[in-house]
Structure 1
Amino acid sequence: MVDSIHPTLLVLAVLVLASPALAVQPDEMLDDPVLEERAREISKELRCLVCRNENIDDSNAELARDLRLLVRERLLEGDTDEEVLDHIVGRYTEYVLLKPTTGGLNIVLWAAGPLMLLFGLGLGLGFVRARGRAQAGADVLSDEEEARLQEILKK
């Protein structure tokens, strides 16, 4: 049956099936295109609490829909983008942000990776240097050991 399907139609079908499904439903969209664009930008910064690493704009979860509606509701009330984000963070904590802030205790999380890398590099460098010194000292024989070695080699 696949042989009878035109290759162009097959490619088109694959592209349509591979495209992401838009989670934002028509009944959620605002009539004002400027507000709708702001809502989309804000939604891309918010994490779906059900899907984890997906923004609410792309998620089909019911909670993501509720968050999208909340964003649009706050925009209609006249909130700025920052006020909308602050309201949602106040309700759901900073976990709802896809890109956490770099202030407060989060600085420990941001700095932990580079600090651990530097610590590991220092530890590795110390190990290599200590091993090099140990090997250099192992090559030198005491006078007693040298005499014994010469005695063994003569036999």
Structure 2
Amino acid sequence: MALIRWLLFALLLTLPAAAVAVGIEVRDFDDPVMQERYRDLTGSMRCPLCENQAIGDSDAPISGDMRDRVYALLQDGKSDTEIVNHMVDRFGEYILYNPRLENRTYLLWGIPVALLLAGALLVALIVRTRRNASAASLSADEQARLDELTKRKRSS
């Protein structure tokens, strides 16, 4: 049992070294809230080089620069919004995984809603057309029989 504890302890000591070996530096924060903010910010921004990887997970040099900038801005006491705005000003809107709702992004956010409404309208028109077409295709005798059956159904 002591051997297992010793091995787990040794493994925990090597994790920061493994992160450095991979190329992702480990940041030291005095405040755990600040560390969580750093983790959230670096996880919410996309690496411009890797395209679909967060800067916190990427070992690309540009991601290292972005992490350094986030760290420095956090140390300067900037808010999360100020940091995100600074990073967007420097690297562009592309780095955000969730684009902001602005004049430029209305189309991006509106297309799914417009397609959903257009699909619902199309289904309603098809149902209405088929209902009218089936009623119009009945002969006079068939229509009279249908009316008689529906009256009988309503009265019972």
Q: TM-score, normalised by structure 1?
A: 0.65
| CA RMSD across the alignment | 2.6
The residue identity in structure 1 corresponding to 2:122 is: L
* 2:59 match: 60
The gaps in structure 2 that reach 5 residues or longer are 1-17, 141-156
Is contact 1:45-1:55 (8 Å) kept? Answer: yes
Kindly state the Cα deviation for residue 90 of structure 1 after the two structures are TM-superposed: 0.6
d(CA) in 2 for partners of 1:75, 1:89: 16
Residue 122, structure 1, aligned to residue 121, structure 2:
yes
The gaps in structure 1 that reach 5 residues or longer are 1-20, 142-155
- Residue 24 of structure 1 contacts residue 57 of structure 1 at CA under 8 Å; is this kept in 2? no
Question: Given the alignment of the two structures, is residue 32 of structure 1 paired with residue 58 of structure 2, yes or no?
Answer: no
- Look up the equivalent residue of 2:69 and give its one-letter code: L
Question: Which range is displaced more, 84-93 or 129-138?
Answer: 129-138
Query: What is the total number of aligned residue pairs between the two structures?
Result: 121
Mapped partners of 2:126, 2:27: distance in 1: 61
* Helix, strand or coil at the partner of 1:105: helix
Mark the CA change 1:70 to 1:24 in structure 2 (over 3 Å): closer, same or farther: farther
- Which residue in 2 is equivalent to 1:69? 68
**Separation (CA, whole Å) in 1 of partners of 2:41 and 2:23:** 13
Contact 2:24 2:58 in 1 (8 A): no
What one-letter code is carried by the residue in structure 2 that aligns with 1:48? C
CA shift, 1:24, in A, is 6.8
Structure with the greater relative contact order (CA < 8 A, sep ≥ 6): 1 or 2? Answer: 1
Higher helix share: 2
Give the Å deviation of 1:33: 4.1
2:103 is paired with a residue of what secondary structure?
Answer: coil
TM-superposition CA deviations, 1:7-29 (whole Å, max 9, x none): xxxxxxxxxxxxxx966733x51
Counterpart residue type for residue 138 of structure 1: S
Q: Matches of 1:108 and 1:36 in 2, distance apart?
A: 36
How many Å separate the matches in 2 of 1:67 and 1:139? Answer: 71
The whole-number CA distance in structure 2 between the counterparts of 1:53 and 1:105 is 22
Contact residue 24 and residue 59 of structure 2 kept, 8 A: no
In structure 1, give the amino acid aligned to 2:126.
F
Offset of residue 123 of structure 1:
1.0
Question: CA-to-partner distance for each residue in 1:41-99, whole Å, 9 max, x for gaps?
Answer: 21111111222232111222222222111111222233222211111101122111111
- What do residues 86-140 of structure 1 show as CA deviations (whole Å, max 9, x unaligned)? 1110112211111111233323322221221111111121022112212321222
Identical amino acids, percent of aligned pairs: 32
Task: Assess if the C-alpha contact under 8 Å between 1:56 and 1:65 holds in 2.
Answer: yes
